[in-house]
Copies of this chain bind each other. A is one copy, B any other.
Amino acid sequence: MIENEIFRALGDPTRRTIFEKLAAGGMNASALRDGMEISQPAMSQHLSVLRNARLVREERQGRFVNYEVDPQGLALIARWLAKYRAYWPARIDALKIMLKDMDQ
C-alpha cells in the first residue's frame, strides 16, 4: 500500500520542506542541506523515505545525485483525494484554482 508510505513521508515537516525545495527546482543532496541545519546522513535517510513514497526520484550525475519531484506520488494523492470529491465544498478556492489552471 503505497498510500501509506506517501502520507507517512509527508507527515514529517522536515521532509515536506525538502519536497518544497525540490518543487522549486531539482538539486543534489548537498545543495538541499544549505540553510537547513540537518546532518548529511539525516538528509540521505529523508530522501530515501521520499523516494520510496514515489514523491521524489534520483538521477545519478557523476558523484552527485540529482533529486527532483516525482509526479507519481502527487498523482497518487490526487487519485486518493478524488475518491472523496463528494465532500469537497464547491466553493473551496483551491479547487477553483486547480480548475482554472488545468483549463489552459
Question: A82-B97, A99-B102 are known contacts; what are 16 more A-B pairs with Cβ within 8 Å?
Answer: A4-B13, A7-B7, A7-B8, A7-B11, A10-B11, A11-B11, A69-B84, A71-B87, A71-B92, A74-B81, A75-B88, A79-B93, A81-B94, A82-B101, A85-B97, A85-B101
Query: Which residues does chain B contribute within 8 Å of A74, judged by CB atoms?
Result: 81, 84, 87-88
Task: Please give the distance in Å from A57's CB to the nearest CB on chain B.
Answer: 11
Q: Type the 1/0 row for A7-35, where 1 means its CB is closer than 8 Å to any CB of B.
A: 11011010010001001000000000000
Cβ contact within 8 Å between B69 and A92: no
Q: Can you name 11 A-B pairs with beta carbons within 8 Å?
A: A1-B13, A7-B7, A8-B11, A10-B11, A71-B87, A71-B88, A71-B89, A75-B88, A79-B93, A82-B97, A85-B102
